[in-house]
Amino acid sequence: MPCDPAPVSLLLLDTASLYFRAFYGVPDSLRSPRGEPVNAVRGLLDTIAFLVTEHRPDRLVACWDDDWRPAWRVAAIPSYKAHRVKVLGGGPGGTDVEEVPEGLVPQVPVISAVLAALGIARVGAPGYEADDVIGTLVARELARGADAGPVSIMTGDRDLFQLVDDDAGVRVLYPARGVRDPDVVDQARLAEKYGVPTGSAYADMAVLRGDPSDGLPGVPGIGEKTAAGLLARFGTLAGVLAARDSGFGLTATQQRRLREAAGYLEVAPAVVRVARDAPLPPFDDALPRAAASPEALAELTARWGLRSSVDRVLSALAR
């Protein structure tokens, strides 16, 4: 009898997280032949080469922020990422865009073009963040049931810890010490570092704790440890809120704080939790073994001075 084929593994890249990290971590002395900065491009390509070599995924998706600050999240919590907004044009008629370092802005289209020439799937969805693309791809993978393969998510964003699921084979690679030595975040790591047993519990904790880096206020007076303790006692955010409403098991101060934050707690879970149903376009996530467009890749490599980084990616893909 033939053996069933092994499940094919899937590696999901939180692309903006990685190219921002490269921009700040790779010297800006890396320049194109015309003198433009290419440190983010080179750093991201070197990261991809390392990840493919180290983890040997069967499938790879560079997940993209088509909308870094979706209107539906802002409608629920107006402060969401508000501190990162830059208004172009000024005044009420201006356009809100993400404040991105000047040297990074022209590198993003180059990254997109190089990924396309390599044949690496780059996937986004209008009105959704890369986190939502990742959440949707994880949900789709789990829906395959017995055919689902293990999923690794490479990100510098702790929000995606909510997707960790040992039973489903979903883990996060978090580059606390750099992309070459990431923390492997599984449920044991969540329990050890954050005091929560599952990815879902991490999301509940994040709602209670809030996140200043995303403009999420949280419940004033309830930090990470207190939130984890409440979830340990009541199981879920719904259990905590039920205790608030019943008056059972909480201190008077905790009850008051949770009551005063009722409006926030009503909308925050939908903002904090990643979407699982973003409308993604058709794409092929198979790891390419050679460049999809060799001529285009050669032109980009020469134009932007990417030879060593592109060669590393091509060598990794061909193994």
Q: What pLDDT, in 10s, does the model give residues 146-157?
A: 999 999 999 999
Residues 40 and 19: beta-carbon distance below 8 Å: yes
Question: Which residues have a Cβ under 8 Å from the Cβ of 188 and sit 6 or more positions away?
Answer: none
Burial string for 50-89 (b: 16+ CB within 10 Å, else e) reads ebbeeeebebbbbbbbbbbbbeebbebbeebbeebeeeee
Calculate mean pLDDT across residues 42-59. 97
Torsion of CA 47, 53, 57, 63, to 10 degrees: 10
**pLDDT score of 3:** 43
Going along 155-223, which residue ranges are E strands?
170-174, 183-185
Answer yes or no: is pLDDT of 13 > 80: yes
4 has a pLDDT exceeding 70? no
Give the mean pLDDT of the chain: 94
Report residue 1's pLDDT band, with 50, 70 and 90 as the boundaries.
Answer: very low
Q: Which two tokens stand for residue 140?
A: 């789709």
